[in-house]
Chain A
Amino acid sequence: MHIPDGFLTLPVAAATGVAAATAVGYAARRAGREMGESAVPVLGVSAAFIFAAQMLNFPVLAGTSGHFVGGLLACLVVGPWNGVVVMTAIVLLQALLMGDGGLTALGANVLNMAVVGGLLPWLLVRALGGSVRHTRTSYLAVAGVAAWLAVVLASAACAVELAVSGTAPVGAVLPAMVLVHSVIGIGEGLLTVGIIGVLLSSRPELLRGYPPPLSLSPSPAGFRKRAWGVAVTGLVVAVLLAVFVAPWASSQPDGLERVAETQAFTDRATDQVAAQTPLFDYQFPLLGDTPWSTSAAGAMGTVVLFGLVVLLGRALGRRASPDGAEIGHDGT
């Protein structure tokens, strides 16, 4: 992913350099303001960690391996602006002392790994994360998918820069880079999930750029509140589906009915018992054979089923805890 010198033309190098300098200049100002320059050691050791982790190869396909990039992880752990500073410091260090990544390509590399591969997916995490990260699994899934996307986006940006410079034809280099990095991105995503999972279990407060939601805090009251929120939202969605979508259900026979028709045993079905039930054939008794009758029957059935499941859940919960104490999500 590190572009060496000579792969980009000077105009492309200059354009990416100006874009990267603007982004890094702004990030450095914000980072200084947010944490203060006396927090340099914290950022420095975080950068050292990402630097060391970048040398970690993981198996990708038979005989091949990929390595960690860490742009998104930096933003998730130390915050977006600090993350950009951390990644820029790493890329600069690699270019000046190791010869990994070129000096004229420094702007492009910073743009790819710190901005496109760090800040951009972090913005996506912030936009999407708020609505879906209510459980540990969904929280980690958002981080993992965003980490995968970070690598793919960065590789696409790298391919476009190479193509604009005339180094490689876009029709060949873009699919090649995106395809290979789609696989490498899976490793990045899994590594990110593993790392964030450890932080989430031990020190969730360290995730400054991606704070865990209340439901993942140790408070059982917060968890119960969130669980009820999810349940009621699910009930509302189910009732809306029953009211507005159910009347449009297909009138064609379902699989069993079709088989019954073709095998000529439809007439053996009897409705004598079912006809005594209050919502027989999805019809509400007071509304007759109309679409609204189906809606009302669907809504009523949904609410009754929800109530039964809640009652059953509470009964089973009490049985699991003989002293009557309710069990929190963390087992306490």
Chain B
Amino acid sequence: MDGDRRLPADPLDPRARLIALLGFVVVVVATPPRAAWPFLAYALVPAFFIGYERVSPRALARRLLFLGPLLLTVVGTRLLWFLLQHDSGQPTLQNEVWLLAVLGMRSGLAVLAVAAFMGHGDINRLAQGLRGLGVPAILTGVMEQAYRYWRLLWRELGLLRDAAGARGFRPRHLGDTVTLGRLTGSLLLRSLQRAERVHHAMLGRGFAGTFPTSHPLRWSRYDALFLLPALILPAAICAASHLVE
């Protein structure tokens, strides 16, 4: 069997996944905040793919948690502003709550779409797709390397902190941050030494700046079947929401 004709484990072209994700998010953000029904309809699309890809609820919850800090900041500042401006009678509480709900729906839908359309995160295919869409190779190469090593470094940082904890170090206030910095600095030293070793090993294996991929990019009928619900359906909902108003 010809290696080029083998199907990868993921039959979808990574460019299709990226286009679907970007398209879905743009459509959601472009939908006017007049009614809730378009947003509820959009939710069906990622919900279907999340079910199909069997993304765990825990992974979903972890992603949704990232929204917390900035969402809370915006809610806090808007409500504070509302209280300060209330006497002038400009905004109403109902408007404020609705605008905040729209923010939450839009950002939540985008996070669901990432979980739905990016699958289980094959970094090599993702980088290949990005290169196929014109992203500079140096950027995707750094991405791939970063993804491969960050867990390892995070574990090592955990070990360093455990070792410091065994010696009685417990960071309690801001002043302890310099010590934390020194710990992290020693990890950076190790990381850079590791980088040099990795670099030499890769050069020894013939690395010349690009990562080889076993499956070339090729559009197929699977991509069309994927893009139809992932992109065309939300676009239709968006158009309908404009027409209804």
By a beta-carbon cutoff of 8 Å, the part of chain A in contact with chain B is 1-10, 13, 24-25, 28-29, 31-32, 36-49, 51-53, 55-56, 58-60, 68, 77, 85-86, 88-90, 92-93, 95-104, 162, 167-169, 171-173, 176-177, 180, 186-187, 190-199, 202-203, 206
Contact = CB atoms under 8 A, between A and B. Distances in A.
B111 interface: yes
B174 A199 contact: no
B148 to A, nearest CB: 7
B177 A190 contact: yes
5 contacts: A29-B136, A37-B141, A51-B146, A104-B26, A203-B192
Contacts of A169: 77-78, 81
B150 interface: yes
B171 A59 contact: yes
Interface in B9-55: 18, 21-22, 25-26, 28-30
B143 A92 contact: yes
A193 B151 CA distance: 24
Interface string B143-181: 111111111111001000000000000011111111111
B76 interface: yes
Given A39-B199, A40-B142, A191-B177, A49 B188 contact: yes
Interface in B169-206: 171-189, 191-192, 194-196, 198-199, 202-203
Contact of B209 (A36, A47, A102, A103): A36
B142 A44 contact: yes
A58 B26 contact: no
A99 B138 contact: no
A198 B185 contact: yes
Contacts, number: 285
B115 interface: yes
- Name the residue in B111, B174, B208 with the highest tally of chain A Cβ atoms < 10 Å from its Cβ: B174
A8 B106 CA distance: 11
Given A13-B29, A194-B180, A194-B182, A6 B106 contact: yes
Contacts of B109: 5-6
Given A6-B110, A97-B123, A42 B195 contact: yes
Interface of B: 18, 21-22, 25-26, 28-30, 63-64, 66-67, 70-71, 73-74, 76-78, 80-81, 84, 102-103, 105-107, 109-111, 114-115, 118, 121, 123, 126, 130, 136-154, 157, 171-189, 191-192, 194-196, 198-199, 202-203, 207-210
A5 B25 contact: yes
Contacts of B147: 48, 93, 97
B79 to A, nearest CB: 9
A60 B105 CA distance: 31
Contact of B177 (A2, A8, A194): A194
B174 to A, nearest CB: 6
A90 B173 CA distance: 28
Which 8 A/B pairs are nearest by Cβ-Cβ distance? A194-B181, A44-B145, A6-B106, A198-B185, A37-B209, A5-B110, A45-B195, A48-B149
